[in-house]
Amino acid sequence: MTISDRVRIKDVRVLSDNWTPLKQTTFEYRRSDGEWQTQKRETYERDNAAAVLPYNRAARTVILVKQFRLPAYIRGYDDLLIEVAAGVLDAASPEERIRAEAEEETGYRLHHVHKVFEAFMTPGAVTEKLHFFVAEYEPEMRVSDGGGLAHEGEDIEVLELGIDEAMAMISDGRIIDAKTIMLLQYAALHIFR
């Protein structure tokens, strides 16, 4: 029996459709004991996205960005969030989109991006699946100051950090973004061993 055999969608209502749709779905789910149970869930219908960690193996550095995130602020985080460059796919391939996002946000034109894994970040409420990449960079690959696109509300600071400092920032709570922690840990295990 597949999951499709265990789910019957009964009703889908759009609750909001401003930035991206928020939907309420009523469905029946066949439990492990064979009983059907009616449930309601709200889902934030986000497009898939991609994230990249640029690294320089010889210098033992990584490129991160720092920016304001309203949801983190609402939850009491009174600082800018330190993150890897990331963005919604917008109908592009993950590889195409992450190269463009990296250049917009960090100012680096990355040549070869390497996909390392995919993950659902908040599968209980958000449909978005994130494609995770790493890419080697050299100083001469910097083609602009980065900073993001002002018309999209981006006001991004670019950071070049040593991998050891970045890992320490996870431990002391200065880096609390999940996608960034995941890619930094990947780099520590597979790139900067």
| Share of residues in the chain with pLDDT > 90 (%) | 93
Unique residue bearing structure tokens 């018309």? 151
pLDDT tens-digit profile of 47-100?
A: 999 999 999 999 999 999 999 999 999 999 999 999 999 999 999 999 999 999
151 has pLDDT over 90: no
Average pLDDT, the chain: 96
Helix axes 163-171, 178-190, angle to 10 degrees: 130
Rounded Cα gap, residues 80 and 91, in angstroms: 29
Rounded Cα gap, residues 191 and 83, in angstroms: 19
144 has pLDDT over 90: yes
149 has pLDDT over 90: no
pLDDT at site 150: 85
Strands 129-136 and 49-56 come out as parallel
pLDDT tens-digit profile of 79-88?
A: 999 999 999 9
What residue type is 100 in one-letter code? Answer: A
Other beta carbons within 10 Å of 114: 12
154 has pLDDT over 90: no
Rounded Cα gap, residues 4 and 1, in angstroms: 8
pLDDT at site 165: 98
Domains by residue range for the chain, with CATH: 3-44 (no CATH), 49-190 (3.90.79.10)
pLDDT at site 146: 94
The CA-based diameter of the chain, rounded to the nearest angstrom, is: 62
- Read off the pLDDT of each residue in 24-53 and give the average, rounded to a whole number: 97
- Read off the pLDDT of each residue in 114-140 and give the average, rounded to a whole number: 97
| Share of residues in the chain with pLDDT > 70 (%) | 100
- Tell me the C-alpha to C-alpha distance, in Å, between residue 58 and each of 61, 74, 115, 189: 8, 39, 21, 16
167 has pLDDT over 90: yes
